[in-house]
Amino acid sequence: MPKNKSFVSLWLDLNILSTHNFMIKRQNTLKLLMVWFCLLLGQTVYSQSDYTGNKRVTGTYAITNATIITSPGKTISNGTIIIKDGLFAKISTSAQLPVDAQIIPGDSLIIYPGFIDALGEQGVASPEEAKRPKDMDPSNPPNHVAGITPELEVLDYWNIEGNGVEAWRKNGFTISQVAPKGLMLPGKTALVVLGDEKSSNYLSTASGLYAQFKTPRGLYPGTTLGLMAKWRELYKNAVLKQEHEKMFVAQGNGLARPQNDPSLAAFYPVIDQEIPVIFQAKDELEIRRALKLQNELGFRLVLTGVEDGSSLVEDIKAAGASVILSLDLPDPKASKVEFDEATEEAKKAQQRVVEAYNNALMQAAHFEKAGIPFAFSTQDAKSGEFMKHLSLMMENGLSEEAALAALTINAAEILGIAQYTGSIAEGNLANLVITTDKLGDEKAKVKYVFADGYLFEYEGEKPKVDMSKAKELVGTWNYESETPGGTSKGTVKYEINAGELQGEIVVDDPDGSGQITRKLKDINYDGKELSFNFSVMAQGNKLIVYAKGTVMDDKFEGTLSIKDMGKYSLTATKVPEFKL
């Protein structure tokens, strides 16, 4: 085999020559090289539904020839999904397309069920701060001053156009259990769809009673022990009050009329096992305290925002509690501080920081191994770090199937909505996330999101270039790549045009018609890290080649890759400029 062919040609040769039958060769090659990004999008027809329950009007869509992950571990290849009136109308490999359907080619794209945020705060505003009455007894403050307002409903403070909704929808989230903001008992959670602004978007007005280990300063309960005592008092008083009300309705005569107490009445659905307590318990101590209250009082418990619960998996399993893990991972910087010349005490402290960081990365894998289904919470997490954090968890033992389950069917089952969402099935709500690569892949981008049957299109982040450093790249670079077929060589040229960094690469034509020049796309360069991609046509199909690496002076070291065909080394050296 020639030693100086372009890496594109070498890869194509390897994949074509590795088979014996021409038809098999062609099919296998097409499977590897079929990367299409020419997506056609029709006009969106918006909903007219609202709180009055008016009939919903929407468009009909057909997403064709895509890889469809209907639920964890279940895949349909080259499938078509038809969406009509906000529902999945048909899922098949041979579906007949409706004449009024807006076609979205799904070639090379992967379709997942829409992600579900098991607890978040997207679109939720904070209520007004309670004013303290004059001459108030700090040992017995009014409930609303002490952060005890379980009767409040989060939907009174939620707006589909509020902060964070769009950012999390861009990450593929289509449903969220939103939590009210406040202290100990801020109110009831609700289930909402992150859909069109003209729709009501709520699935449940009261899905759980939200609780936290947060107390007001200078007032009772004030401390964690006080909070535990107050919890018992409220719950037991609510049980007595509910029994009183039932007896009064049943017999009346001889019984005092029950007085209205909204805070205690808010516990009735919890006492009747209609809704759970959604208890935010981040660390091991808080988890133990929440489990203790559940054991004493008997309510259904969902532990949310868990950041350090790996050592309690057996206790959680024994309690029958559901688990929602935090997507907010610790900052890795503290775990990477060098302590070579530090004291032994400082080194031990640093070691604890490293262990805590590693435990956080492996927590989801521990729960998967223990057989405890869990979901994810976006509370306190940054939307821009979602894919990064998910990838870190998967690199530390979390399987792809378990990660998808946590984002879809597990969350739906914990929230009691699996009968109509959490998987791609005919009749379910049309909630989808459509990506360019598999879940957890560092190159994966969300291209489309369907929420409640409404289409949202995303092109991803624009390339970022530090123009003050870009001039260092300008010129010609000779590249080499070591592939299984030998060493491939070529040139890359960079220039600054109209204030933008642009480039082109010279490679051999995969179809054998000499050399061709291709433009570089999505160039990112911060003065050190450099990445770009370019495309070539092979057997009539578009092939995307990705390059990524580090620039040091006039040297580049990195990798290049093609989807499903592995990574290979890539080096380049800048050609010196000769001036007269």
Work out whether strand 529-538 and strand 541-552 pair parallel, antiparallel, or are unpaired: antiparallel
- Let me know: does 63 contact 80? Beta carbons within 8 Å: yes
* CATH code at position 539: 2.40.128.120
Comparing 126-130, 325-329, 416-420, 563-567, the range with the smallest average pLDDT is: 563-567
pLDDT in tens, 433-465: 999 989 888 778 899 999 999 999 987 556 688
Residue at a domain's end among 419, 451, 483: 451
The answer, yes or no, to whether residue 58 has pLDDT greater than 90, is no
**pLDDT band at 339; cut points 50, 70, 90:** low
Does the residue 8 lie in any domain? Answer: no
419 and 500 both lie in a single domain = no
Res 253: pLDDT: 76
- Positive/negative CA dihedral, 236, 242, 246, 247: positive
Res 567: pLDDT: 79
Domain that holds residue 486: 463-574
| Alpha-carbon span 308 to 286, nearest angstrom | 10
Does the residue 21 lie in any domain? Answer: no
**pLDDT band at 42; cut points 50, 70, 90:** very low
Res 498: pLDDT: 81
Does the residue 73 lie in any domain? Answer: no
Does the residue 122 lie in any domain? Answer: yes
Comparing 92-96, 342-346, 390-394, 563-567, the range with the smallest average pLDDT is: 563-567
Res 336: pLDDT: 57
232 and 350 both lie in a single domain = yes
Res 343: pLDDT: 77
- Positive/negative CA dihedral, 548, 551, 556, 558: negative
Q: Residue 51: count other Cβ atoms within 10 Å of its Cβ.
A: 8
**pLDDT band at 1; cut points 50, 70, 90:** very low
Q: What percent of the chain has pLDDT over 90?
A: 63
Comparing 83-92, 377-386, 564-573, the range with the smallest average pLDDT is: 564-573
Does the residue 282 lie in any domain? Answer: yes
The answer, yes or no, to whether residue 531 has pLDDT greater than 80, is yes
Res 52: pLDDT: 30
Comparing 198-202, 518-522, 574-578, the range with the smallest average pLDDT is: 574-578
- Side by side, the strands of the sheet bearing 567-574 are 515-519, 500-508, 486-497, 475-483, 567-574, 555-562, 541-552, 529-538, 521-525
408 and 488 both lie in a single domain = no
In sequence order, what are the residues at sequence separation of 6 or more whose Cβ sits closer than 8 angstroms to the Cβ of residue 310?
359, 362, 363, 366, 367
Q: Residue 545: count other Cβ atoms within 10 Å of its Cβ.
A: 22
180 and 266 both lie in a single domain = yes
pLDDT in tens, 21-35: 433 333 444 333 333
Does the residue 434 lie in any domain? Answer: yes
414 and 539 both lie in a single domain = no
| Alpha-carbon span 347 to 339, nearest angstrom | 6
What is the mean predicted confidence (pLDDT) over 241-269? 91
Mean of pLDDT over the chain: 86
Secondary structure element (H or E) that encloses residue 337, with its range: none
Res 45: pLDDT: 31
261 and 354 both lie in a single domain = yes
Domain count within the chain: 2
Res 123: pLDDT: 96
488 and 434 both lie in a single domain = no
**pLDDT band at 224; cut points 50, 70, 90:** very high
| Alpha-carbon span 420 to 409, nearest angstrom | 10
482 residue type, one letter: E
432 and 498 both lie in a single domain = no
Residue at a domain's end among 451, 474, 489: 451
Question: In this structure, what are the phi and psi dihedrals at residue 15, rounded to the nearest 5 degrees?
Answer: -75, -25
| Alpha-carbon span 497 to 133, nearest angstrom | 66
Give whichever of 54-58, 154-158, 511-515 has the largest mean pLDDT: 154-158
Across the strands, what pairs with 262?
none
| Alpha-carbon span 438 to 431, nearest angstrom | 18
| Alpha-carbon span 126 to 157, nearest angstrom | 7
The answer, yes or no, to whether residue 11 has pLDDT greater than 80, is no
What is the mean predicted confidence (pLDDT) over 484-504? 87
343 residue type, one letter: T
Please give the DSSP secondary-structure letter assigned to residue 255.
S
306 and 208 both lie in a single domain = yes
Coil vs helix vs strand at 525: strand
The answer, yes or no, to whether residue 18 has pLDDT greater than 70, is no
416 and 503 both lie in a single domain = no
Does the residue 569 lie in any domain? Answer: yes
The answer, yes or no, to whether residue 138 has pLDDT greater than 90, is yes
What is the mean predicted confidence (pLDDT) over 249-254? 82
Res 55: pLDDT: 37
Work out whether strand 87-92 and strand 322-326 pair parallel, antiparallel, or are unpaired: unpaired
| Alpha-carbon span 291 to 285, nearest angstrom | 10
Work out whether strand 521-525 and strand 515-519 pair parallel, antiparallel, or are unpaired: unpaired
- Over its C-alpha atoms, the chain yields an Rg (Å, rounded) of 29
440 and 498 both lie in a single domain = no
| Alpha-carbon span 271 to 179, nearest angstrom | 20
Question: In this structure, what are the phi and psi dihedrals at residue 255, rounded to the nearest 5 degrees?
Answer: -110, 140
CA angle 281, 397, 364 (to 5 degrees): 15
Q: Residue 2: count other Cβ atoms within 10 Å of its Cβ.
A: 11
Residue at a domain's end among 402, 426, 451: 451
Comparing 164-178, 239-253, 284-298, the range with the smallest average pLDDT is: 239-253
Res 7: pLDDT: 53
- Let me know: does 40 contact 105? Beta carbons within 8 Å: yes
**pLDDT band at 16; cut points 50, 70, 90:** very low
146 and 219 both lie in a single domain = yes
381 residue type, one letter: A
Q: Bigger pLDDT: 152 or 337?
A: 152
Closest CA to 183 of 239, 135, 144, 236: 144
| Alpha-carbon span 448 to 432, nearest angstrom | 8
Structure token pair of residue 238:
């609510």
- Let me know: does 431 contact 193? Beta carbons within 8 Å: yes
Question: In this structure, what are the phi and psi dihedrals at residue 253, rounded to the nearest 5 degrees?
Answer: -60, 125
The answer, yes or no, to whether residue 51 has pLDDT greater than 50, is no
Does the residue 49 lie in any domain? Answer: no
